[in-house]
Homo-oligomer: A and B are copies of this chain.
Amino acid sequence: MAEHGFQLYDTTLRDGTQQEGMLLTVEDKLAVARRIDALGVGFIEGGWPGAVPRDTEFFRRAATGELDLRHAVLAAFGATRRPGVAAALDPQVRALLEAETPVVTLVAKSHTGHVRHALRTTLAENLAMIDGTVRYLVYAGRRVFVDAEHYFDGYQLNREYALAVVRTAAEAGAETVVLCDTNGGSLPDEVASIVAETRALTGVPLGIHCHDDTGCAVANTMSAIDAGAVHAQGTAHGYGERCGNANLFTVIANLVLKRGREVVPLEKLRDLAPTGRAIAEVTQVPPRAAAPYVGSSAFTHKAGLHASALRVDPNLYQHTDPALVGSAMRTLVSDLGGRSSIELKARELGYEVAAGSDEVARAARRVKQLENDGYSFESADASFELLLREELAGGPPPAPFEVESWSVRVLAPRGAEVRTEATVRLVADGRRLTATGYGNGPVNALDTALHSALDPCFPALARLELTDYRVRVLSGETGSGATARVLTSFRDGERAWRTVGVDGNTVTASWRALLDAVHYVLLDRPTEPAPAPETPAPAAAAVTG
């Protein structure tokens, strides 16, 4: 049954925004907050009002009711008052109140070195700053959490002072004191012992806040919880500065599935992977494919050895049922997988194939050869399906149209706007179809021209929409001799899928990928398989546009 006491605390919108490459608008922050709330997380730290103008605006809009949280409680983050200034007179502290949140989280120094050299004040004044600010906010009706910054380093440097910080915060009215491994340099055993000791010596409800600089943020968090922490902080996808914060998604899934602690309800855990994708769409910072539970590769099997065992029982090679976190098993077609992965993939796509059949062997050989040439079918589901259908049918299907020629022009005349124009000449049913399309680049323009030429004859194409495009250069230098592999992503009504094109010329490679998409929509598929989980395209490097 669901745990009510445990405090899951998300800091994606404050610590997570330190992530390199992340620039969130207020609108983005509201969207992310709604997703975290829907997952069942108890606390959302919205930012640092007063210090960051976008955050002041976020809290203002949240206070007008625009955020409509169903479950989570909003927290404003800030610092203890400045040395020598009363809390009530410190504008930074007043800004925290003006955010009108039920919770305020204060970062306080708990490391003597930081008190002296970063804050430049005395150890006693620092305690007074904690005491005064906490009391002021509690008196004003706020629930207060205190983040004890640099706690683990501070504890090892001066244990009594670190403990004094914890006690001072609690005695002033802080509900939870969160022990922060701010520099991220700790390992799980020292986290466990320091949390256990602190708890035993102070009796204060403790939280944990870790960073991944030693690759142990999740383990440190789990370890602290085992040692008695009742509050855990983290960010979506482990976003954060340097190596990031503890990945809250991983912590949640581990607690529920491995420790049997229902910190979010089981039915909400099934939203984990979709929530992860939705948040990444907003932040435009994709999680790595290998991210535990929610990554596009987390339940993806490649090796031939595993593929044959998977045919027997998926649980032989999976540590948990992917459906529990809203994900699904994927098999990769690649030359490493050979016939077994082709069979598995074909069945996944709804085709009946006989084990060990000639068609499967032919398809496996063709995949191997094309991958030697630079193709990669791992992510290009639709291109793979086209290949498979050809092999199963014993030859290519009748082409719905022929390509006669195409061209693209980008003109940047003096003093006038840049124009990109693509012209395609096709022949369908003996009729010539010519169309010119404009766009914000060669691929967009070609895509527009294709639609102009073909949609009237093939109405099904109208719902085909290009959504993403990546170019990767393989082998050789960037000048001559390079091969470009283009992966294009499409939405086709409710479904999302990808095609691949390879050529020495980047625009030609893109053209091939666009054509595959058109052919894919126009072919008649055996079943309407369940929509594939939307997998973010792998990171790619492009040399020329």
Interface set of A (CB-CB < 8 Å, partner B): 17-21, 23, 52, 113-114, 117-118, 182-185, 187-189, 212-220, 222-223, 226, 238, 240-244, 247, 250, 253-254, 258, 284, 286, 288-293, 295, 297-303, 306, 309, 312-313, 316-320, 332, 334, 336, 371, 376, 378, 404-414, 418, 420, 439-445, 447, 465-472, 474, 478-480, 482, 484, 486, 503-508, 510-511, 537-545
Contacts and interface: CB of A to CB of B under 8 A. Distances in A.
Contact of A484 (B52, B441, B445): B441
A319 to B, nearest CB: 3
Contact of A539 (B297, B414, B539): B539
Contacts of A289: 20-21
Contacts of A371: 23
A538 B21 contact: yes
A336 B182 CA distance: 19
In this complex, the member of A320, A442, A482 whose beta carbon has the largest number of chain B beta carbons within 10 angstroms is A442
B336 A18 contact: yes
B241 A545 contact: no
B442 A442 contact: yes
Contacts of A336: 17-18, 52
Given A214-B319, A470-B540, 19 more contacts: A18-B303, A20-B289, A21-B376, A117-B313, A214-B253, A214-B254, A215-B292, A238-B290, A241-B303, A242-B301, A243-B295, A405-B413, A440-B544, A441-B543, A441-B545, A443-B544, A467-B478, A470-B541, A539-B539
Contact of A466 (B241, B413, B414, B478): B478
A543 B542 CA distance: 12
6 contacts: A118-B309, A215-B250, A241-B301, A442-B544, A471-B542, A545-B545
B290 A507 contact: no
Given A113-B316, A215-B250, A543-B443, A297 B20 contact: yes
A242 B412 contact: no
A312 B376 CA distance: 49
A406 B411 CA distance: 6
A412 B418 contact: no
